[in-house]
Structure 1
């Protein structure tokens, strides 16, 4: 792929991630959005929520962000070996975090606010992308040295 085209596609992917964030209220069911904006500071209880719907929408959002992130990383580092590793990392992270998210939601107390916040943040935002780009870059530097 030409360098200019790669840059253009990467820019489109970044815009897509931004659009997911901008239109999150229209695209996904997430009553915790408003809760974590301010209600968690003064209210000890979670808002009314449909547990299954929240888990499904959180999973969809995770995999939408993950798909865009995987394509982005593959374009940057152009190695078919990376695809299997990325899929494994994202699948393991998804299983671990979604399980933790469900458990914290089921046994919620005010002491779990921050834990719930950060687990949810890793699930709904492309945080792994920010961690994996430097990791793959470092790996490429080490393998070429």
Structure 2
């Protein structure tokens, strides 16, 4: 694949991640969006449907992970990278979803801060910001030595 085509495709895929974020209120059920925008330390938890929130958070994680895997595929086109990334996303996603589910069902003031960060890792495509430079270093920098 041409270098410029790769760059344009990766840019478009990152734009898709931005669109997911931009339309988050329309696409996903998440009463914690408005809760964490305010002074949440002194508020009581919002009324929420726990299973619906867990399913929507899982769906958002899958959507972000799928686009992130496409970014990695377009950038490197190596099966080993995609396989490792898929296993990584599944393992981390399962752990975070279990922890998130526990926190949702035990949501209290003592774990507002922890819930904020666990949820953040699930709803934002943060892992692509770690994996892309790591694979770039491994694939291109070490290859040139």
TM-score, length-scaled by structure 2: 0.93
Q: C-alpha displacement at 1:42, in angstroms?
A: 2.1
Deviations 1:99-125 (A, max 9, x none): 000111111221211110000000000
Q: What is the DSSP-based 3-state SS (H/G/I as helix, E as strand, rest coil) of the residue aligned with 1:37?
A: coil
Per-residue deviation, 1:143: 5.2
Task: Name structure 1 gaps, 5 residues minimum.
Answer: none
Worse-matched range after superposition: 1-10 or 134-143: 134-143
- State the match for 2:93 in structure 1: 94
1:40 equivalent in alignment to 2:2? no
Q: 5+ unaligned residues in a row in structure 2: which ranges?
A: none
Could you say which residue in structure 1 is the equivalent of 2:136? 137
Deviations 1:81-114 (A, max 9, x none): 1111011000001100000001111112212111
Give the deviation of 1:39 after TM superposition. 4.6
Cα deviation 1:20-58 (Å, max 9, x = unaligned): 001000000000000000151321x31111111111110
Matching residue of 2:72: 73
CA distance in 2, matches of 1:54, 1:117: 14
Q: What is the TM-score with the length of structure 1 in the denominator?
A: 0.93
Aligned pairs for 1:1-145 (under 5 A) are: 1-43=1-43, 45-140=44-139, 141-142=141-142, 144-145=144-145
- Name segments (4+ residues, structure 1) moved above 6 Å: none
Task: State the aligned residue count.
Answer: 144
Q: Secondary structure at the match of 1:38?
A: coil
3-state SS in 1 of match to 2:45: coil
Distance 1:143 1:46 in 2: 51
